[in-house]
Structure 1
Amino acid sequence: MKISYHGHSVVKIQTGGKTILIDPFITGNELTDLTASEEKPDAILLTHAHNDHVGDTVDIAKSSGAVVVAPVELANYLGGQGLDAVGMNLGGAKEFEFGKVKFTKAFHSSSYTAEDGEVIYGGMPAGILFEAEGKTVYHAGDTEVFGDMEIIGKRHSIDLAFVPIGDFFTMGPEDAAYAVELINPKTAVPIHYNTFPPIKQDPEQFKQAVKQAEVQIMEPGDSIDL
């Protein structure tokens, strides 16, 4: 399994000949190395409805035929846009041909702003547990630290965790380091920082605060093999 990071919260997983994109905010993301029109994933997984996470989902899914897996209210909206969308909810898991997806808690908000300014309710925000090839990847989505992260860590042996550190909209470096202690992954990667002025952070601060897991600071385009 190859996992690559592409700025903000964009993660790509390649496994078993399939490609999965998580939160493909590409257009308007100055940190990404990707071009939306060139992405042809088999699946897109979404943590919540904010525009900087849904991103280019509609265009990419229409051009590639990717199935979109998202919290149910967001999936219902995207299904209305002509996408093949599967709606799930917190605690639910499903085996797909590309791997197993399970949605977890995240404490945040979730709404999508359409081009005409309409604000669409996106349901509960979520984290995502992805399992394939005997490995588990956790994408925490946008969230604060919360005690049930310890349950997530105890119930799942997490090989790689992506956690937001930007502060302002999510937890900052110190809270994110404590979240890693609760999640107990083998490796942690900071995400959701430096994209916009309010979330400017030094990831080294997060790395130095984490004591019991390896921290890998990934630049856009960097990858990890599990």
Structure 2
Amino acid sequence: MSGQRVGRRVFLRGAGGATVASVAAASVFAPSTTGQAQAAPRARKKSTAATFRWFGTAGWRIDIGARTLLIDPYLSRYSTGMFDGKFNPATELTVDTETIDENVGKPETILVTHSHWDHFNDVPYIAQKTGARALGTMTTYNLALACDVPSSQLSQVKGGEVLDFGAYTVEVVASLHSRNASYSVAFPGVRLSRPEKPKTVGDLPEGDTLNFQVTLKDGPSVFFMGASDFVERNVTGLSPDIAMIAMQASGSTYDYAERVITALNRPSVIVPVHWDDFEVELDNPPKPDPSTKPHMDDFIATVQKISPRTKVVVPEYLTPYQFG
């Protein structure tokens, strides 16, 4: 069964029986009912209004009333040859200021899962222009310093922190980066001190990986991944209402989808991310990354098997969704 694209708004219902969210013309979507309920429904509180927009890859914009939070905002999307089999690590870092300015709003906080270019590339520009605070690993901190972001706008985190921003809290979860078919991480390494200003994609190492759980005040909790691996013990017990789960990059990680869905206690909504070709423009429908395995149909089938009551929302670029 293939995932259906979802239109403008999707509402999380703790007692819903949907497996794949279906399209409707109105703002509330009638779910398909392909599986019998097995997971217990979540108790829901009165929800804080929030709108989510997918930037592609693992990137998100979250508007909570008049406040804006970004996660891994990468909008420049230039070619490195990655999807043509001609990847060039010497590709010059490029910032598409026009596209960024049109889409990021006025963020106050930027959460960065790790420092590869498809997650970090646009962060320094956004932070400098908007004054937003960027939170990430020590590597992210030092690379941002090297890109002339003031230290007063940077916060180094490593996992275990629970930070209160008033309208929302952010729990930082130490995690792992996905591995390729050779069981290796692309561009490994850390930056424990301020380096020279990065100029190429190869100058941006992974630098450790984080996940974030954002909980809206009196609203849903949302788990965000930036890469398709995780530390099972670190996420067990988080039990988010919504999980933005990175699609598996290779088969190197054992039972990845099954384990992460189970460890997160079968979220009511799962949104697959990091499955698109992020070197083309933000045109809908998104073009899949041909190397992503398993493919979307297989991922959805796994969700149906592990958690029949979970709704799978396959996102489109820059489309406003509401969960809550």
TM-score normalised per structure 1: 0.83
Name 2:282's counterpart in structure 1: none
1:37 correspondence with 2:101: yes
The amino acid of 1:126's aligned partner reads L
Q: CA deviation at 1:78?
A: 1.1
1:87 correspondence with 2:180: no
Q: Aligned pair count?
A: 219
Name 2:222's counterpart in structure 1: 137
- 8 Å Cα contact 1:143/1:164 also seen in 2: yes
The amino acid of 2:143's aligned partner reads Y
SS of match in other structure, 2:314 = coil
Cα distance, 1:224–1:200 mapped onto 2, change above 3 Å: farther
SS of match in other structure, 2:211 = strand
CA distance in 2, matches of 1:160, 1:189: 8
Q: CA deviation at 1:191?
A: 0.6
CA RMSD of aligned residues (A): 2.9
Largest Rg, 1 or 2 = 2
1:107 correspondence with 2:189: no
Please, which moves more after superposition, 129-138 or 77-86?
A: 77-86
Cα distance, 1:137–1:179 mapped onto 2, change above 3 Å: same
CA distance in 2, matches of 1:74, 1:64: 18
- 8 Å Cα contact 1:145/1:176 also seen in 2: no
The amino acid of 2:275's aligned partner reads Y
Q: CA deviation at 1:27?
A: 0.2
Cα distance, 1:86–1:205 mapped onto 2, change above 3 Å: same
SS of match in other structure, 2:300 = helix
1:225 correspondence with 2:274: no
Which structure shows the higher strand fraction? Answer: 1
CA distance in 2, matches of 1:55, 1:98: 27
Q: Percent of aligned pairs with the same residue?
A: 21
Q: CA deviation at 1:177?
A: 4.1
Cα distance, 1:2–1:118 mapped onto 2, change above 3 Å: closer
Highest RCO, 1 vs 2 (Cα 8 Å, sep ≥ 6): 2
The amino acid of 2:113's aligned partner reads T
TM-score normalised per structure 2: 0.60
The amino acid of 1:176's aligned partner reads A
CA distance in 2, matches of 1:111, 1:21: 25
Name 2:68's counterpart in structure 1: 19
CA distance in 2, matches of 1:51, 1:187: 28
Cα distance, 1:179–1:116 mapped onto 2, change above 3 Å: closer
1:188 correspondence with 2:270: yes
SS of match in other structure, 1:44 = strand
Q: How does 1:104-183 map to 2 (within 5 A)?
A: 104-108=173-177, 114-115=198-199, 119=203, 123-134=207-218, 135-148=220-233, 152-154=235-237, 156-168=238-250, 175-183=256-264
Cα distance, 1:191–1:121 mapped onto 2, change above 3 Å: closer
Cα distance, 1:130–1:29 mapped onto 2, change above 3 Å: farther
- 8 Å Cα contact 1:76/1:85 also seen in 2: no
5+ long unaligned stretches in structure 2: 1-49, 80-97, 178-184, 191-196, 278-288
Q: CA deviation at 1:118?
A: 6.7
Which structure shows the higher helix fraction? Answer: 1
